[in-house]
Structure 1
Amino acid sequence: MAGACPPAVVSMVKSLLQSDLPMLEKMQQLTKTLKAHNLAWTQDIAPSACLVHPSNRAGQMLSVDDVWNKGLRMVSLGVQRSLLQGSVCIEIAHDVGKKTEQLEANRRLVALSHGQLAPVKGDERFLTLGTSHTTAFFKAVEAGCQCGDANVHVKQLEDVLSGWPWLVLSSLVEQACPGVPLFYQLASNASGSGQKQVSEVEAAGLMAMRIKSGASLESSVAELKQADPACRGSLDAISHYVSRYGGKSYGTLMIGTDVMKTLAFCDFKNPNTVYPFARLAFATMLSSPKQTDGFQKIVSVSDIQKLKTQAMRDLLDQFETLVKDSWELCSNAHVTGASLERVFGKLCVRAALFVLGKDKALGEKHVFADLPEIACAFAGELKKGSSEASGSGGSQAAAASSASSSSVTNVLDCKPQEMALLQNAHMQLGGLYTNVKDHGNKIFVFTKADENGVWMEHDPLLAPKETVFVHFGLLLKWRKFKGQAPALCPPSMVEMKMVHESSAVLDEYNKAQMQQLLLDNAWNKKVEAKDLAFTSFPAMVHAMKSYKKAGDLELWPWGTVTKVRAGKPVPKRLHAKGFGCDWMIQPFKALNQADFTKMPNEEGEGVLAPFFWVKETKDADAANMHIHVFKKNGNSFPVLKNKRPIKEYEALTYCEEEPAEGQAKKKAKKE
């Protein structure tokens, strides 16, 4: 299939890869999208037509032991074509250079298998992304390969050697979106219960490869979590390991959660280095024959913790230098692929076990006396490996441009201040810190750092600022301050918010004034208890004496005042004004009508406020009381006054809709 992946499809694919959909649902949507644009299809493919994708299993491609162990187990249970569901592969690249790389990677893999994997013929058309170990086993048996005393006959595989349905991806997909094959590998491992579980170092390799393909560290971790690998308990530690010391590592055993976390987070107490190469070397213990249930048992947490002691500092420094220099030698000698794994890997294993005092576990006849002797052995093997590499005519690997990620740090290129901050993760530029022992309760701000140390600044607010220089080795004395830093209130805010300038306080003051005025006037105009009678059901108040002149009876609204916002409607009989605001009068709690038949009790709740017992009527002519607005000094309060003479025992009523007092007088004159 010639051509290129359409930009619109590339955009959709990248959007799906970055989405938060569950992994298997994401794979389903991705497959649907690719099929809709003829970039994926289903096809029956025989094992003989397949090789392994070079990035499979984080670049390890295959584990020969796993190929045969899994294959033999399948044979013992019975191989069935119907069980080979969910197989995924991708076309071998059409680009000649890329295709050559893919074929060479498979040839190196076969060369390392010592005849246990089928040879590369060169006419294969597909690279497996899922079911890789199973397919390699079928190919090996068909090619007549042997593994120990295993005895498998081709006839036992007749049902599958002719092929089974595969999901095939176009090579254009990887060309446009390099992260797609890696995603399908993870998804295939997540969906297949029979798949080989991902180990810690393989997970680290997958993270590193996803970052190189353009993904962020966070999204890489999220994808691995969705795949639910056996090392899920170590993913946070693996993420930290990759972000600090990440490289391409391989392994078939599990390190174990405790060891992985210790390896990633251990502080070796050296402000000048975090020992990235030493940590890398310890990861090679995954090839150890000493294991239990798939977990390596040669390196323990206590082994790594022991290296933190001062007594081990010189040896650890030598170890770090040896591994670092050896890596540079390998790079300069252009040793790659199988030769690199064999030569550099052997150095790491030898040196790591020597430092831990477990070099006898190597099983080699020769016992190395010290690290320099191990270095000499490495130099000889490197020379031999370099000669093999140059004589083989192997293709040069294309340099992959690493995608930038804010979470990933190359500790080899770090400046002193960057290295110091990596080792003191609690120190962040602009953060607040204290050092009680040396500076008491003063709070400092981390302002800047250079190759010599960091500057901390204390601002006492009403005194000159104080600047302190701190060497990197003393940063452990400083503790992050989690509280709020002291701050000086600006003079402009002080002037605005002083209590006597506060609008809220002024409102309370005006409210108190209005309340005082209301109660003072109500007290002065109070009506004696003997002059009124209260009845229940309906609630009414009656005059117990006659009032011969209009205005002789005056009732004030005993209650509390509440400020109301401008424009809010307030009933006329409850509406007061004062201090430039509108107020509403709320009555005190009234005595319950049902309590009229009970004996008087001073502790009982509720009061009798006559103003609020006057019954409202819609008939203005029948009403004997009217709302009068009492005004004085710019303040006004509603009161009820009798508008005509009132007889003894007459019920008091008023009309809310009655015209104002002035309007009523004008109307009377016209009549």
Structure 2
Amino acid sequence: MALTPAVIAEADRIMASDAAVNLKVLELNDLWLSNGLASKQVHGPERFCIHPQNRGGAMMNSFDMVTKGETMMSQGLRIDLLETSAVAFCMSSNAVKRDKQLAANRKCCSQAKGVMPEVVGDDLFLTVGSSHSTCYLKSMKQGLVKNASSFMKKGQPVERCLSQGWTWLILADTLEDQFPSLPLLYSSVLNSNNSVCVASTEIECLATISNCLKLGKTVAEATAATMQGEPACKEYLETVAFFAQKYTGGDEMPLVDFLVSFSKLYGQSIRLGQEFTQLITYFDFKLEANLAPCFRVACMAAQVASPKVQDQFAKLLVKADLDRIKSKSKPELLEAERLLKDAWVATQNAPLKDGERYTVFGRCCVRTVLYLSQKQKFDRENKEWNSLEEINQALATELLGPKGTSSSAAPTASPSKVANLLEASPSTVAMMQHPHLEVGGLYQHSDYGSQVFQLLELNDTSAKFEHRPLMQDAWTVAIALSDDLKQWKKTKKAIVQVVDQAAWSKYLVENNSAAGEAIDMQRMQILLYDTFVNLPEVDGFSFVSPPTGLCATINIPKGKLKLIAYGDLKRDDGKPGHKVSGYALSPPKAVGDMDNVTATSVLVPFWYVKPSMDAEAVNMQLTNAKHGGLAIPCYTNSRSIRKGELLLHAAEALLAKEASKAAPKKRKAS
């Protein structure tokens, strides 16, 4: 039956409703079945491939498939449970789209290194549920599973599935044409409720969000659609969405495809965990105008490739690693970001298959991250790299093939230029062979001890290095291109130079106004101290505790009690607070309980007049008292005070409240 406007409208209503996602799927199934757009059919595993949008586009991890299959065999296959999530779409009737569906499956199988069953060409359907189980049974039928015969005795569930098949809900391909996100919906729901489920990981959620965004959904809609599948990372799915939106390469999100492919290389799907996901998404590397997107993706790649796994969680990188990189390796981090960005461009232009491109780029990511984080002992390659330049050179070798010697000198050069060696000039070839050489860079050579040289020029005959001794003429060394330029090692040491007198003389003590300001402040501090200690003694109050405050010990007439401030003077930073002659005044360390007074405690009554929101209780007002030529903050009693009253001043909030009451009200327009 055709997909009528009425059916489309009803499907839209169901998918937009607030119903639980499982109920949505059941209601959609009834709609498709009642309108001839779906049917119950019995088929064996050989008729099925994986839908390209299964698990958000990740399709399948072959290690997960084997683990789930073995678990299913050890527990005993139950056909009734298998059928609860057995849903598939018909392959597209459009030849071009069908070829793409088959190509996606062939690519997925090629990455599985002979573990997953081959695409033989008589496949009819694309699974969005029971995908792992079906793929494992198909592998058994193709003879890829060892010791499978013990499960295939006649009449046993496995033998019945392989010889007779089991019941599937088959959806028409026209449904996917009309509702492009429908496979994502079915996949997310069906993969979360089967009996031996593999919960969606952060990488699979990245893939789902990416596919939703490509289908025109907003970030919020993509996140909500992914949430429907109850993924393992649902508590921090917004963080995963933020990572996808900010760091994965723009609208097409090509780095999501890379992470999905690379995450399948080394074992079962592992989780990154909330702590790491939020760390790598929101960490501030303190780089000016650079969010280090490539390095963040590289960290995620290193984490999913990590051999250090505990309870299915990757445990390679932690916050201390990123803190160390931020504080001690910032120049190398900037270089690593540039290297990774150029490596991505280079691998995408290389004459390799997608899976090979992702593998080469992934190795570069892992090497870079482990080198900067000083965790190369966890490298699966069992190799330590001495520099980012060496990692870059290894990348170029892998892009050029086994006989390639290096990458281009400029990391921004494309692989097409690297490969065109026949037309390259001698200087270009030299730069390709020695990517650590860069005009303007600084180098050292063991023949010249600790002296630092700058590479001035690299032409078709030689490389010229210049050394500039202090107070002497500079001199150069010309090295023939045929010599071993590897002996010239890049250095982080700077060239020591004589600084022009005009640049430093103004900062000498006698010329520096900052030094004079410090002396002026010290003089002002002494003047404040002398003024304070020579003030007449004030009585009529006492400290109370706890908490420490002040109260009147006698009846005090209005204006007769004056408490002058004293404290440390500091440079005024413009923040609100008490001031003395242009300097900020800060109190001595407060004493919260008089039982804790020590020999080093300094008590200034001014600072113990407490704020109050009770206007009637307020009895002290802030003024300025002039003594010794200084205007010093002072609390004066604004009314008569009875014996035993606490000394209180108006809190800032009370002053603001009273000011708003005093402000003239605007007349309403008549």
Q: Give TM-score scaled by structure 2 length.
A: 0.56
* 1:115 to 2:132 alignment: no
Q: Distance in 2 between matches of 1:202 and 1:29?
A: 26
Identity of aligned residues (%): 29
Q: Distance in 1 between matches of 2:243 and 2:44?
A: 40
Render the CA deviation track for 1:322-359: whole Å, top value 9, x for unaligned: 11111112333375532232122222112111121112
Aligned equivalent of 2:72: 74
Q: Distance in 1 between matches of 2:52 and 2:99?
A: 12
* 1:494 to 2:639 alignment: no
Aligned equivalent of 2:632: none
Where in structure 2 are the equivalents of 1:264-279 lying within 5 Å? Answer: 264-279=281-296
Partner SS state of residue 44, structure 1: strand
* 1:59 to 2:76 alignment: no
Distance change in 2, residues 1:115/1:11 (3 Å):
same
Distance change in 2, residues 1:306/1:33 (3 Å):
farther
1:314: Cα distance to partner? 0.9
Where in structure 2 are the equivalents of 1:33-48 lying within 5 Å? Answer: 33-48=31-46
Aligned equivalent of 1:382: 399
Aligned equivalent of 1:165: 167
Q: Distance in 2 between matches of 1:14 and 1:264?
A: 34
1:209: Cα distance to partner? 1.1
Where in structure 2 are the equivalents of 1:209-608 lying within 5 Å? Answer: 209-246=211-248, 247=253, 248=256, 249-250=259-260, 251=263, 252-284=269-301, 285-309=303-327, 311-333=328-350, 335-384=352-401, 440=575, 494-496=666-668
Render the CA deviation track for 1:69-121: whole Å, top value 9, x for unaligned: 11111111211212212211111111111111111121122222222121111
1:18: Cα distance to partner? 3.4
Amino acid at match of 1:160: C
* 1:186 to 2:188 alignment: yes
Render the CA deviation track for 1:153-175: whole Å, top value 9, x for unaligned: 54362121121111111111112
1:201–1:283 contact (8 Å) kept in structure 2: no
Aligned equivalent of 2:86: 87
Higher-Rg member (1/2): 1
Total equivalences in the alignment: 402
Q: Distance in 1 between matches of 2:664 and 2:284?
A: 49
Amino acid at match of 2:159: E
Render the CA deviation track for 1:542-562: whole Å, top value 9, x for unaligned: xxxxxxxxxxxxxxxxxxxxx
Q: Distance in 2 between matches of 1:324 and 1:8?
A: 49
Q: Distance in 2 between matches of 1:177 and 1:232?
A: 25
1:23–1:223 contact (8 Å) kept in structure 2: no
Which of 1 and 2 has higher RCO (CA within 8 Å, sep 6+)?
1
Aligned equivalent of 1:510: none
Partner SS state of residue 166, structure 1: strand
1:278–1:319 contact (8 Å) kept in structure 2: yes
Q: Distance in 2 between matches of 1:245 and 1:132?
A: 30
1:141–1:154 contact (8 Å) kept in structure 2: no
Partner SS state of residue 196, structure 2: coil
2:116–2:136 contact (8 Å) kept in structure 1: yes
* 1:96 to 2:98 alignment: no
Amino acid at match of 1:299: L
Aligned equivalent of 1:452: none
Q: Distance in 2 between matches of 1:13 and 1:383?
A: 52
Gaps of 5+ in 2: 264-268, 405-571, 577-655
1:151: Cα distance to partner? 7.4
Amino acid at match of 1:88: V
Q: Distance in 2 between matches of 1:38 and 1:150?
A: 38
Aligned equivalent of 1:144: 143
Distance change in 2, residues 1:296/1:151 (3 Å):
farther
Partner SS state of residue 494, structure 1: coil
Amino acid at match of 2:70: L
Aligned equivalent of 2:266: none
Partner SS state of residue 326, structure 2: coil
Aligned equivalent of 2:126: 127
Q: Distance in 1 between matches of 2:6 and 2:392?
A: 54
Distance change in 2, residues 1:223/1:59 (3 Å):
closer
Q: Distance in 1 between matches of 2:214 and 2:136?
A: 30
Distance change in 2, residues 1:101/1:226 (3 Å):
closer
Distance change in 2, residues 1:59/1:224 (3 Å):
closer
Q: Distance in 2 between matches of 1:164 and 1:312?
A: 58
Partner SS state of residue 165, structure 1: strand
Q: Distance in 2 between matches of 1:215 and 1:14?
A: 15
Distance change in 2, residues 1:6/1:116 (3 Å):
same
Partner SS state of residue 90, structure 1: strand
1:81–1:159 contact (8 Å) kept in structure 2: no
Q: Distance in 1 between matches of 2:10 and 2:350?
A: 42
Distance change in 2, residues 1:128/1:492 (3 Å):
same
1:18–1:219 contact (8 Å) kept in structure 2: no
Partner SS state of residue 54, structure 1: coil
